[in-house]
Structure 1
Amino acid sequence: MKRVAIDLHFLPCLEFFTAIINADEILVSPSEMYQRQSYLNRTRIRLANKIETLSVPIQGRRPRLPLNRVLIDYNQNWQKIHLRGIQSAYGKAPFFEFFFPYINPIYEKNHLTLYDLNLEMLTICLKLLRFRGKLTVSENLDEESPDLDLRGQISPSRSYSERNLYSPTPYTQLFGLDFEPNLSVIDILFCTGTEANKLLLSSVKK
């Protein structure tokens, strides 16, 4: 039984999913500390003319807090900005109408913490990708003795090519001639639908 401990990212990138696709159990924790300049509150999508980063604003400039105490800032209209960006980027994608109804309701809730938002997003993404691994919440990942501990490793500050997790298998994206790797999971879901699982399996770095 393969157990993988990993940070609870927001609408994670494809590298995240290639790292856990063969896991029997995926371990996340509400008590892991928030990290600045991380994927914990941001994801990347492809618009017609650029790659756009969607960020979830949080309260406090540099909170040294566990994820379940990092409060989301609703003074900013980030939900509408995200939904407008997603619809602009993927509204004409082949599987948008099939998968968007699963994502949209999560945005319509006012989750109190970043942990609550990220956990619900990951749960639905695992379901849509038909992953076999069980998602387990642990209060203390250091006591779990996972087979693979990826906490702190998947970071936007370093390219995926520096790690041994993800080797992109290109698929048809909505905009641009050149394939843009390692975008948010919604890119592969909206663009490829039921093929997403197979594409992620083939993108696991050998």
Structure 2
Amino acid sequence: MSKLAADLFYFPNLEFFCAILDYDEVVFCRGQEFRRKSFINRTDILGPNKVQRLTVPIQGRRPRIPEGKLLIDYEQKWVMGHLRSIQSAYGKAPFFEHYFPFFEQIFQKEHSHLWDLNLDILTLCLRFLGIPAKIVLVDDPAEIQVEKDIRGHMSTQEPYTTRNYYRATPYFQLFGVDFEPNLGVLDLLFNVGPESKMILSDSVKKH
């Protein structure tokens, strides 16, 4: 059984799903330290004007805090902002009405911890994408025993082209003249629906 260790992102991008696509189990560690400039609380969508980054605000300072203990800051009205941005970007997309209510229900739970929010989102995305990978959770990095470990590989500071997981495979997008690659998974699901897994398979970078 093939196993891979990865970071638990907020609406992961296509690079993430290409990286995990062929593994039976994906391991996530609650006890690993929070990394700045990661996608743990960020995702990108394509709006009417440009690519827009959505960020989940986190409470307090975060030196050396385990990712599983990150608390979401609800004093900032980010939930309504994210929902409005998603609706503005994808309200007219072919599969918006099919998937959006499920994600809206996740937001309505108002998770206290970012980890739990991301886990619910990923579980739903794997189901919609038809990816059978089993999610395995551990508390201590020492517990991780896998064939491949991609934790820390994907950063907001470096383009996906510097890594060997994803190649851009164009699909239908509502906005823009040129195709925008490697957006958050919402862009793929809302625009192409059941064809999403096929697009991901075609987007895996061949070594």
TM-score using structure 1 length: 0.97
Equivalent residue, structure 2, for 1:37: 37
Q: What is residue 131 of structure 1 aligned with on the other side?
A: 131
State percent identity of aligned pairs. Answer: 50
CA displacement, residues 157-189 of structure 1 (integer Å, 9 cap, x when unaligned): 111000000011110101011000010000000
Could you tell which deviates more after superposition, 56-65 or 193-202? 56-65
How many angstroms apart in 2 are the aligned matches of 1:172 and 1:112? 35
- For residues 114-145 of structure 1, the C-alpha deviation after alignment (integer angstroms, 9 at most, x for no partner) is 11111111111111101011111122343332
1:50: how far off? 1.1
Q: Is 1:27–1:141's contact at 8 Å kept on the other side of the alignment?
A: no
Conserved? CA contact 1:28–1:141, under 8 Å? no
User: Counterpart in 2 of 1:61?
Assistant: 61
Structure 1 segments of 4 or more deviating over 6 A?
none
Trace 1:70-89 onto structure 2 (pairs within 5 A).
Answer: 70-89=70-89
| 8 A contact 1:41–1:55 mirrored in 2 | yes
| Deviation (angstroms), 1:33 | 1.3
Q: Give 1:147-166 correspondences, 5 Å limit.
A: 147-166=147-166
Q: Distance in 2 between matches of 1:49 and 1:90?
A: 13
- In 1, the alpha carbon distance for the partners of 2:124 and 2:33 equals 23
Does the Cα contact within 8 Å between 1:168 and 1:182 map onto a contact in 2? yes
In the TM superposition, residue 55 of structure 1 has moved relative to its aligned partner by 0.3
What are the ranges of 5 or more consecutive residues in structure 1 without an aligned counterpart?
none
- Maintained 8 Å contact 1:36/1:62: no
Report deviation, 1:37.
Answer: 1.5
Which letter maps to 2:195?
Answer: E
Distance 2:9 2:175 in 1: 25
Matches within 5 A, 1:13-52: 13-52=13-52
The alignment yields a C-alpha RMSD, in angstroms, of 1.0
Question: What's the TM-score, normalizing by structure 2?
Answer: 0.97
Q: Contact 1:10–1:39 at 8 Å: present in 2 too? A: yes
Q: Any idea what SS the aligned residue of 1:164 has?
A: coil
SS at match of 2:40: helix
1:146 corresponds to 2:146: yes
Q: Secondary structure at the match of 2:44?
A: strand
Do 1:15 and 1:160's aligned partners in 2 also have CA atoms closer than 8 Å?
A: yes
Name the structure 1 match of 2:10. Answer: 10
Count residues in correspondence: 206
Offset at 1:61?
3.3
Deviations 1:64-123 (A, max 9, x none): 211121110000000000000000000000000001111111111111111111111111
Cα distance per residue 1:16-64 (max 9 Å; x no partner): 0000011100111211211112100000000011111000000013342
| Stretch deviating more after TM superposition (136-145 or 196-205) | 136-145
Which runs of 5 or more structure 2 residues have no equivalent in the other structure? Answer: none
Q: Note the C-alpha offset of 1:2.
A: 1.3
Secondary structure of 1:156 counterpart: coil
Corresponding residue SS for 1:40:
coil
